[in-house]
Chain A
Amino acid sequence: MSVAQPLLDYVKALKPRRSFTESVSAMKRLLGYHRKYSLYVALTIVLSLARSYLFTLEPLYTSLIIDQVIVGGHSDLLLGYLEIILLSGVGVGLCAFAMTYVQGVMSQYIIRDIRSEYYSSLQEKSFSFYDSIAVGDLISRATMDLQMADSFVRMWLGTIFNALFLVGTTFVILYSVSPTMTLIPMATMPLIFYFTSRLWVYTMPLFRNMQLILGKLSSYIQQDIIGMKTVRIFRRQGDIVDGFKQVERIYVDTAVAAGRMQAIYMPVSSTLLSLGITLVYVYAAYSTLSGGAAFTVGDIVLFARYLMRMSFPLRDLSQLLGTWVIASAGLERVFEVTDTHRVVEDLPSARDIPITKGKVQFEHVTFGYSKKRPVLTDVSFTATPGEKIAVLGATGSGKSSLIYLVPRFYDIDSGRIAIDGIDVREFKLSSLRRQVGVVLQDVFLFSGTIKDNIALGRPDASPEEVVEVAKIARIHDFIESLPNKYDSEVGERGVTLSGGQRQRMTIARALIANPRILIMDDSLSFVDARTEQEIQSAVEEATRSRTTFIIAQRLSTIKNADRIVVFEDGRVIEFGTHAELMAANGTYRRIYETQFLGKAADISNKGGDLK
């Protein structure tokens, strides 16, 4: 029924239990990234030990001032004690500063390593991976999610060791003043521990669910906005908003429930420690008056103050867990992508093989993006060296898929594709792709100069070589007309190129490695007559003496091809020269007569208008 049903189902099915083990494995993995920076880790620990020790000096000497200077009247000691307090304060400050800095820098390195690994893995992912995921999503994992991880990594060591050492040193000092009275704060520790762990057992799954629901809601909103036109056409607005509101309510309820748990348990540790102070006062006062162990006012103040301050590191510790919940969700999303199998891989036996002739054989090739629905079925034909083959068929007939199989952008399910008689899987991917020139339908240029873009695949190409391929691609004259010629910047800050110019750039780019085999997705059809002609002659020149597979929209390209292969529903239905296929009086002839003759008339009309 509702568009939001899958989202609602997802939210309702969220399981709190499983998340815990996932978060543990993410932590283990994160720890692994610390190994390279063990020096930073060690430094953080040492600094936090020093900081904790120095931090305890201030209350200690305050109590000495009370006992010896104020009560005892030794005013000569005051300056010395104040000096120690000041110096310890400076020490605490320096340690804290160094700790924050060391941890922050370490976190930068660790996040960088995780991001690099993630990004490297992205470079290796197959086309099928990119067909199924949005670039925006990939970027947000590398930025937003890792930012969450960063805010955890830059504080976790310090927070944990700080709490550990501070509580430790405090106990040592308290013990030296009064072993019996130390039992009071000691008794609160298990209680604090118990209540804090309660808090996290209850809230951690809630927080995680909140993160996940929020993520889903965001992508739901995105889909609605991006697809707004469709939504309006089908009048699904009501549906979409109702579903959204339902999920939003679930989110609010979860957030409020988590807030309630936090509200109950968060203040527990400071409340317990404050109540402990009451016991300290009573015990110390009675003990002193009844002639037991005697306590000075300074001792009592010392105990009270330590009890109050102990709640700070404990509170930090409990907040750290909250940071972790969010960070681990982010890390999981990153690792999920990093770990995705790359699908198209080098065989162990793969090697560098030079392509000398350029014969390409398709033998009973079957291929589909999902196993159930093949896009190509039992395709067999052979392109002889230097031959130009035009690939023809309706949208979705599998013609793009066919040419993408030659450089192994996808792997076939059965059959064999061979170049010069050698299975393409015997080639190393890098070796194969370097020798197969590709002109994609998407005429993508990188920011940089024109020369950079043409020499993309061969940065060592000489300026003469760049000019040569630019001439073949019929783009040289245009480049020469630019003020900076081959050094002109393209992209956002540089010159803007038309679709036709971009296409000729990509042709030049594909030729720079002088490939024996060229595949071209020449689907750019909405251009004016002059551009049409220029592209045409560029294509003619580029494909000369190379084995070429070209997906063609243009009549001239098709007629100039040596042979034409016609696809229908993933099968080859006709294969031969223009004359042969016309004579066969089949599908090709029908397409030729209805589609191309009509379009050719159309184009010449447009050309007429331009004049």
Chain B
Amino acid sequence: MSGPGPSRWATFSTREEEARKRTTPDRVLMERVYGYAEKHKRSLFAGMASIVLTSLTGLASPYMHQLAIDKIIVPGDLSGFTWWIPLFVTIVLSNHLFQYIQTYRMRLVGENVVADMRDDIMDKLQTISLRYFSEGEIGRIISRPITDANTVRIFLRVGLTSILMDASSILGAFTMMYILDYRLATLALVMLPVSLLTIWYLGKYSRAAYRRAAVVTAGLTARMQEDLAGIKVIQSMVIEEKVKERFEEQQDSTVKANSRAILISSSYMPLIMFLRLIGTIAILWYGTELFGTAGVTIGVLVAFTEYQFNYFMPLMDLMAMYDQYQSAMTAIERLFDLIDTKAEVLEAPMERRLELP
């Protein structure tokens, strides 16, 4: 019905169009969001650089422990503390500093970008055709500046930071592990696909369970909608007790559906932790076997188990972010859909208006 290119956004999308899967590539959406962030370019780059530096300084820490054990404590050479302590303290404090810069700057950018987008939406709302405000459509329009904007806000506040941070943590941890010992690192790497698969598979399961729970919850909402719209009839017919009972029943089935979803999602974290533990045990076992051979010292083993601990958490986080990322992209697309809607009736120029009787 509508032509290709950005012009197809000239009108607000219909319900059917909205239900369809996203059509705009992520890259395009990102570029447009960047357009809003450009005003805060300095904060944005300072923030992103700090994110990477935060995870790098975080990763330096286990390596520093390895040095302390192997170079100072085991040989009993206390003079090493003269360089180790200042270095370690510097790393810890700069990690804190980078965390500060990162959190503050990204918050600044995120809040401003969402506010600017929302201001544009409010401006646009005042000018687009009144037919978009017909009764059945109002809910959809309202959800743009409220629900969708909120989704984007949460994503920019935590999601984006997490993705950058987790990705650099994982890459960094593996780099460090390979520097420390390639054999143990390969062992840790072998664990990766197994873990990823498990996380992915479980995620699929729990998403399905939550979708089912969402359907039941939607039923609860529909029940309330109907009851409350008909509350005057309910009271005049004196059937309040019956309505309450019916609501309790619906609630009980909601509890049941949700509990099932909770059962599945409860197993998520423990399973991941268990996989991590298997990795730790493999490293301890193989590491002890290797002990004494080229480069495998106590410090290396200690640092290794710590790195292995460190890359698992971000991995899980990253998986959880996938959903958030998807829904944020959908929300962003919807916001632009409204922003790009053409104003149909433009204001008459001022002079003209004055001529009116």
Query: Taking the complex as formed, is B274 at the interface, i.e. its CB lies under 8 A from any CB of chain A?
Result: yes
- Among B68, B126, B230, B236, the residue within 8 A (CB) of A241 is B126
Q: Which residues of chain B from 228 to 266 have any CB-CB distance to chain A below 8 Å in the complex?
A: 228-240, 242-244, 247-248, 251-252, 254-255, 258-259, 262-263, 265-266
Query: Taking the complex as formed, is B96 at the interface, i.e. its CB lies under 8 A from any CB of chain A?
Result: yes
Q: Residue-by-residue, is A407-449 near B (CB-CB < 8 Å gives 1, otherwise 0)?
A: 1010000000000000000000110011010101010101100
- Among A264, A274, A407, the residue within 8 A (CB) of B61 is A274
B285 surroundings in chain A (CB, below 8 A):
78, 82
- Tell whether, in the assembled complex, residue A244 and residue B237 are in contact, meaning their CB atoms are under 8 Å apart: no
B269 surroundings in chain A (CB, below 8 A):
96-97, 100
Query: Taking the complex as formed, is B78 at the interface, i.e. its CB lies under 8 A from any CB of chain A?
Result: yes
B273 surroundings in chain A (CB, below 8 A):
89, 92-93, 96
A530 surroundings in chain B (CB, below 8 A):
none
B263 surroundings in chain A (CB, below 8 A):
101
A599 surroundings in chain B (CB, below 8 A):
none
- Among A90, A116, A241, the residue within 8 A (CB) of B247 is A116
Q: Residue-by-residue, is A45-75 near B (CB-CB < 8 Å gives 1, otherwise 0)?
A: 0000000000000100010011001110001
Query: Taking the complex as formed, is B200 at the interface, i.e. its CB lies under 8 A from any CB of chain A?
Result: no
Distance A506 CA – B150 CA, assembled complex (angstroms): 42
- With contact pairs A75-B288, A82-B281, A252-B115 given, residues A120 and B244 touching in the complex (Cβ less than 8 Å): yes
Q: Which residues of chain A from 124 to 140 have any CB-CB distance to chain B below 8 Å in the complex?
A: 124-125, 127, 130, 135, 138-139
- With contact pairs A256-B111, A282-B85 given, residues A108 and B305 touching in the complex (Cβ less than 8 Å): no
Q: Which residues of chain B from 26 to 76 have any CB-CB distance to chain A below 8 Å in the complex?
A: 61, 65, 68-69, 72-74, 76
Residue from B88, B118, B238, B288 having most chain A Cβ neighbours under 10 A = B238
- Tell whether, in the assembled complex, residue A97 and residue B122 are in contact, meaning their CB atoms are under 8 Å apart: no
Number of interface residues of B (CB under 8 A): 97
- Tell whether, in the assembled complex, residue B104 and residue A260 are in contact, meaning their CB atoms are under 8 Å apart: yes
B251 surroundings in chain A (CB, below 8 A):
112, 115-116
- Among A85, A228, A241, A440, the residue within 8 A (CB) of B281 is A85
Residue from A138, A214, A228, A430 having most chain B Cβ neighbours under 10 A = A228
- Tell whether, in the assembled complex, residue B119 and residue A271 are in contact, meaning their CB atoms are under 8 Å apart: no
- Tell whether, in the assembled complex, residue A130 and residue B280 are in contact, meaning their CB atoms are under 8 Å apart: no
Query: Taking the complex as formed, is A285 at the interface, i.e. its CB lies under 8 A from any CB of chain B?
Result: yes
A142 surroundings in chain B (CB, below 8 A):
224
- Tell whether, in the assembled complex, residue A78 and residue B288 are in contact, meaning their CB atoms are under 8 Å apart: yes
- With contact pairs A130-B231, A135-B229, A271-B92 given, residues A119 and B259 touching in the complex (Cβ less than 8 Å): no
Q: How far is the CB of A57 from chain B (nearest CB, A)?
A: 11
Query: Taking the complex as formed, is A524 at the interface, i.e. its CB lies under 8 A from any CB of chain B?
Result: no
Distance A459 CA – B146 CA, assembled complex (angstroms): 42
B291 surroundings in chain A (CB, below 8 A):
70
Distance A282 CA – B88 CA, assembled complex (angstroms): 12
Query: Taking the complex as formed, is A143 at the interface, i.e. its CB lies under 8 A from any CB of chain B?
Result: yes
- Among A138, A237, A284, the residue within 8 A (CB) of B73 is A284
B265 surroundings in chain A (CB, below 8 A):
100, 104
- With contact pairs A115-B251, A267-B100 given, residues A248 and B85 touching in the complex (Cβ less than 8 Å): no
- Among A92, A94, A122, A285, the residue within 8 A (CB) of B72 is A285
- Tell whether, in the assembled complex, residue A259 and residue B104 are in contact, meaning their CB atoms are under 8 Å apart: yes
- Tell whether, in the assembled complex, residue B284 and residue A256 are in contact, meaning their CB atoms are under 8 Å apart: no
- Among B89, B130, B220, B266, the residue within 8 A (CB) of A232 is B130
- Tell whether, in the assembled complex, residue A275 and residue B281 are in contact, meaning their CB atoms are under 8 Å apart: no
- Tell whether, in the assembled complex, residue A263 and residue B100 are in contact, meaning their CB atoms are under 8 Å apart: yes
- Among B118, B146, B221, B232, the residue within 8 A (CB) of A127 is B232
Distance A506 CA – B233 CA, assembled complex (angstroms): 9
B74 surroundings in chain A (CB, below 8 A):
297
Distance A80 CA – B332 CA, assembled complex (angstroms): 54
- With contact pairs A112-B255, A139-B224, A231-B126 given, residues A93 and B271 touching in the complex (Cβ less than 8 Å): yes
- Tell whether, in the assembled complex, residue B126 and residue A225 are in contact, meaning their CB atoms are under 8 Å apart: no
- Among B73, B118, B302, the residue within 8 A (CB) of A285 is B73
Q: How far is the CB of A36 from chain B (nearest CB, A)?
A: 14
Query: Taking the complex as formed, is A18 at the interface, i.e. its CB lies under 8 A from any CB of chain B?
Result: no
Pairs across A and B, CB under 8 Å, 24 listed: A82-B284, A82-B285, A85-B281, A97-B267, A112-B252, A116-B248, A123-B234, A127-B232, A130-B232, A135-B228, A143-B217, A143-B220, A221-B145, A241-B123, A260-B104, A262-B103, A263-B100, A263-B107, A281-B68, A429-B238, A430-B238, A433-B235, A434-B238, A446-B233
Given contacts A100-B269, A263-B100, A457-B239, 18 further A-B contacts (CB under 8 A): A65-B288, A70-B291, A70-B298, A100-B265, A101-B262, A108-B262, A123-B244, A130-B231, A138-B224, A221-B142, A252-B111, A263-B107, A271-B92, A288-B76, A434-B238, A444-B233, A456-B239, A509-B237
Q: Which residues of A are interface residues toward B (Cβ below 8 A)?
A: 58, 62, 65-66, 69-71, 75, 78, 82, 85-86, 89-90, 92-94, 96-98, 100-101, 104-105, 108-109, 112, 115-116, 119-120, 122-125, 127, 130, 135, 138-139, 142-143, 154, 214, 218, 221-222, 224-226, 228-229, 231-232, 237-238, 240-241, 244-245, 248-249, 251-252, 255-256, 259-260, 262-264, 266-268, 271, 274-275, 277-278, 281-282, 284-286, 288-289, 297, 300-301, 304-305, 308, 407, 409, 429-430, 433-434, 436, 438, 440, 442, 444, 446-447, 456-457, 459, 506, 509
Q: Which residues of B are interface residues toward A (Cβ below 8 A)?
A: 61, 65, 68-69, 72-74, 76, 78, 81, 84-85, 88-89, 92-93, 95-96, 99-104, 107-108, 111-112, 115, 118-119, 122-123, 125-127, 130, 133, 138, 141-142, 145-146, 150, 217, 220-221, 224-226, 228-240, 242-244, 247-248, 251-252, 254-255, 258-259, 262-263, 265-267, 269-271, 273-274, 277-278, 280-281, 284-285, 288, 291, 298, 301-302, 305-306
Task: Report, nearest first, the 7 A-B pairs whose CB atoms are least far apart.
Answer: A259-B107, A93-B270, A263-B103, A104-B262, A237-B126, A89-B277, A457-B237
